[in-house]
């Protein structure tokens, strides 16, 4: 029987926002397959803790601290990864933020915070990583978008805008970089049950509204997203580019 995903062993994988939530689960999924995983985020304590978990499976993992809404930190992340591992095979643009507010209350600072991390950082990380992927004539870029790229929802004007832009960015980069051997795709999750969203779902009315919109009747788990990312990173998806896989339990089917 074919040993699926075995080709990911020894690959260099960057996961932005890989220290918490679904990013952490994605990073662990790759580490368990013996990939060299580089995680990036702002919080040093959680980076250190997650790195220890990753190194249980592969001691050739790395944590890089920095605010990725700043392009200089993105450049540093990519260059440090390339200097350490010589190649960059897979980039998962997962770092993101939401500031839930009614549209009439969104400030310029709120807008910039959301767009800078969710969209701007994904572009400049992709641009920086693509330089190395072009040289090796191969690479996979996977953007973590959202079902909110396809539907609207309350208190998410900036967030929906950023994720809609990310889906279109995925297509644009796929078109430009196909000839360079780089595949660019995205995963669009619904609401995920993690320690980061736990507080959000203490609002029972909100949780009930969300669950009734998901046809499968429950929140997604981090491993549901990691599975889609793993597929896109693997040889199983070598003829897939410019695509966004919705992992939304059927939310957008109606």
Active site residues: 159
Buried b (16+ CB within 10 A) or exposed e, 37-49: bbbbbbeeebbee
Buried/exposed code over 174-212 (b: 16+ C-beta within 10 A; e: otherwise)? beebeeeebbbbbbbbbbbbbeeeeeeeeeeeebeebee
Distance CA 168, CA 242 (A): 9
8 Å CB contact between 31 and 54: yes
Count CA atoms closer than 13 A to 34's CA, side-chain side: 5
Token code pair at residue 202: 């203490």
Residue 49 tokens read as 């803790």
Cα dihedral value 45, 47, 52, 55, nearest 10: -170
What is d(CA 199, CA 35) in angstroms, rounded to the nearest whole number?
A: 32
3-state secondary structure of 199: coil
Q: Contact at 8 Å (CB) between 201 and 207?
A: yes
Q: What is the 3-state secondary structure (H, E, C) of 142-183?
A: EEECCHHHCCCCCCCHHHHHHHHHHHHHHHHHHHHHHHHCEE
Question: What is the total residue count of the chain?
Answer: 254
């Amino acid at each position: 029987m074919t040993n699926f995903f075995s080709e990911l062993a020894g690959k260099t994988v960057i996961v932005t926002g890989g220290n918490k939530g679904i990013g952490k689960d994605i990073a662990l999924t790759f580490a368990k397959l013996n990939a060299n995983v580089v995680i990036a985020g702002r919080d040093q304590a959680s980076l250190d803790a997650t790195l220890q978990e990753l190194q249980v499976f592969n001691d050739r993992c790395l944590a890089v601290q920095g605010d990725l809404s700043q392009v200089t930190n993105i450049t540093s992340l990519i260059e440090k990864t390339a200097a350490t591992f010589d190649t960059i095979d897979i980039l998962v643009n997962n770092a993101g933020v939401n500031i839930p507010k009614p549209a009439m209350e969104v400030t310029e600072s709120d807008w910039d915070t959301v767009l800078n991390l969710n969209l701007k950082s994904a572009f400049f990380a992709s641009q920086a990583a693509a330089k190395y992927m072009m040289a090796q004539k191969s690479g996979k870029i996977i953007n973590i978008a959202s079902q909110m790229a396809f539907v609207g929802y309350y208190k998410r004007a900036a967030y929906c805008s950023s994720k809609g832009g990310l889906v279109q960015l995925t297509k644009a980069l796929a078109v430009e970089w196909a000839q360079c051997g780089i595949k660019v795709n995205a995963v669009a999750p619904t609401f995920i049950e993690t320690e980061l969203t736990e507080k959000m779902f203490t609002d029972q009315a909100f949780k009930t509204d969300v669950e009734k919109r998901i046809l499968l009747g429950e929140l997604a788990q981090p491993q549901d997203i990691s599975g889609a990312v793993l597929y896109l990173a693997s040889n199983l998806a070598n003829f897939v580019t410019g695509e966004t896989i919705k992992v939304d339990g059927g939310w957008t089917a109606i």
